[in-house]
């Protein structure tokens, strides 16, 4: 059994003025060992809320469903148990390295913190040795010097490497990377992505990569889950998802990227806006208001996931009836 993480029917709701609103709604997802699963979505899609639910970082949310990590259900786990998993078995890489690091501590000490907490048996000398080893592993030149540096003395790429060193300090089995390269330049982004790929092979971890950047997904992911308004709307392996996308939202997103469009052409735009948490439709297909030219009867009343092909899941039957309004044929995504 190499299913590392099994999420089933996970719903994370927040209380806003006496009512509960589901930021993550009935999400089921598995992550295997040595696999990168990308979660793609725009702001408000619930992708970060999902990551925080796995990490147990929402203390005021109501969470239902199950999150099985190595067989153990994380939902409702007492904080003390969760603390011993977090940072040890499950590591997290945050988006903005500057706010993830403590500005008043040298980076060496910040990495050591993770070791003190989860590997108390290490002696001081062993710890420092391990930190230098980690800094080397994440590709930091002259790790002895960087050990003594404060975060502000390092460049953005170096800081993100330090954040990654902290996340992998205890060789976690699951790594959650929340927009790990969004704050970085393209050449640095490439280095960090290479590093994440290398670490995956080193520690054989399962990785959840949260991003809004389809280019990063195409480069990194083994499987992809596309989220819209709190739900997974499509899930498939990366080749299938990019060559044969089914859900109207996935197809629309792929249609609106600049990198593959004809220069100076008019880009495809999705009508309307992403609904806010309080305005989520509680019934029916959540994407329906954005594709008003598709007849109502094409949607399901309670949209379910359909297995369009083995391993390829799509929510709501509307994908069978979707077409782009002003293009003859956009059924096939051409590279």
Partner 1 sequence: MALLEVEQLKVHFPIRGGLFGRKAEPVKAVDGVRFTIEEGQTYGLVGESGSGKTTTGRAIIGLNPITSGDVLFQGRSLKRIVRGSNQSFRRDIQMIFQDPYSSLNPKKRVIDIVAEPLRNFERMSGQEEKRAVQELLEKVGLSPDSIHKYPHEFSGGQRQRIGIARAIALKPKLIIADEPVSALDLSVQAQVLNFMRDIQKELNLAYLLISHDLGIIRHMCDYIGIMYKGRHVEQGTTSDIFGNPQHIYTKRLLSAIPDMDPNNREKQLQLRAAVNLEYKEAYNRFFDEQGLAYPLKPLSETHYAAMPERG
Residue showing tokens 């956009």 = 330
Site string for partner 1, 248-277 (x = CB under 8 A): ----xx--xxxxxx-xxxxxxxx--xx---
CA 142 to chain centre: 31
Report the residue from 17, 142, 187, 201 that binds partner 1 according to the rule CB under 8 A: 187
CA atoms within 13 A on the CB side of 193: 24
Contacts with 276 (C-beta within 8 Å, 6 or more apart), sequence order = 44
Nearer to partner 1, 163 or 253 (CB): 253
Which pairing describes strands 62-69 and 72-73: parallel, antiparallel, or unpaired?
antiparallel
In degrees, rounded to 5, the angle at the alpha carbon of residue 187 between the alpha carbons of residues 217 and 146 is: 110
Q: Considering the rule CB under 8 A, would residue 8 count as an interface residue with partner 1?
A: no
**Token code pair at residue 122:** 């290490």
Site string for partner 1, 44-83 (x = CB under 8 A): ----------------------------------------
Contacts with 95 (C-beta within 8 Å, 6 or more apart), sequence order = 178, 179, 180, 182, 183
Site string for partner 1, 206-245 (x = CB under 8 A): ------xxxxx-xx-x----------------xx--x---
Q: Considering the rule CB under 8 A, would residue 96 count as an interface residue with partner 1?
A: no
Neighbours of 321 (CB within 10 A): 13
In degrees, rounded to 5, the angle at the alpha carbon of residue 91 between the alpha carbons of residues 231 and 205 is: 85
- The residue count for binding partner 1 (CB under 8 A) is 39
Site string for partner 1, 123-162 (x = CB under 8 A): ---------------------------------x------
Report the residue from 75, 109, 190, 203 that binds partner 1 according to the rule CB under 8 A: 190
Chain residues that interact with partner 1, rule: CB under 8 A = 42-43, 156, 185-190, 212-216, 218-219, 221, 238-239, 242, 252-253, 256-261, 263-270, 273-274, 335
């Amino acid at each position: 059994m190499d299913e590392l993480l099994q999420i089933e029917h996970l719903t994370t709701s927040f209380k806003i003025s006496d009512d509960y609103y589901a930021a993550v709604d009935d999400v089921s997802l598995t992550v295997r060992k040595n696999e990168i699963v990308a979660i793609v979505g725009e702001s408000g899609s619930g992708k970060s809320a999902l990551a925080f639910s796995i990490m147990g970082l929402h203390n005021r949310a109501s969470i239902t469903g199950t999150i099985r990590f190595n067989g153990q259900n994380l939902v409702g786990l007492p904080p003390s148990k969760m603390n011993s998993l977090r940072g040890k078995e499950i590591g997290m890489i945050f988006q903005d390295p500057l706010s993830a690091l403590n500005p008043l501590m040298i980076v060496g000490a910040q990495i050591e913190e993770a070791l003190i907490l989860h590997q108390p048996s290490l002696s001081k000398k062993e710890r420092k040795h391990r930190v230098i080893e980690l800094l080397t592993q994440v590709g930091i030149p002259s790790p002895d010097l960087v050990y003594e540096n404060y975060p502000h003395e390092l460049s953005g790429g170096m800081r993100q490497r330090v954040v990654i060193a902290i996340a992998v300090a205890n060789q976690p089995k699951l790594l959650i990377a929340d927009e790990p390269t969004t704050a970085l330049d393209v050449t640095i982004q490439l280095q960090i992505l290479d590093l994440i790929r290398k670490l995956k092979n080193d520690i054989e971890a399962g990785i959840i990569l949260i991003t809004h950047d389809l280019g990063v997904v195409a480069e990194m992911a083994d499987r992809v889950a596309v989220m819209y308004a709190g739900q997974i709307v499509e899930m498939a392996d990366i080749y299938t998802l990019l060559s044969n996308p089914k859900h109207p939202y996935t197809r629309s997103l792929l249609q609106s990227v600049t990198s593959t469009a004809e220069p100076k052409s008019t880009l495809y735009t999705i009508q309307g806006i992403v609904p806010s948490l309080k305005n989520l439709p509680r019934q029916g297909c959540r994407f329906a208001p954005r594709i008003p030219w598709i007849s109502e009867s094409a949607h399901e009343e309670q949209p379910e996931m359909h297995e369009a092909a083995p391993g390829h899941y799509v929510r709501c039957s509307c994908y069978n009836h979707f077409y782009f309004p002003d293009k003859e044929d956009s059924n096939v995504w051409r590279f």
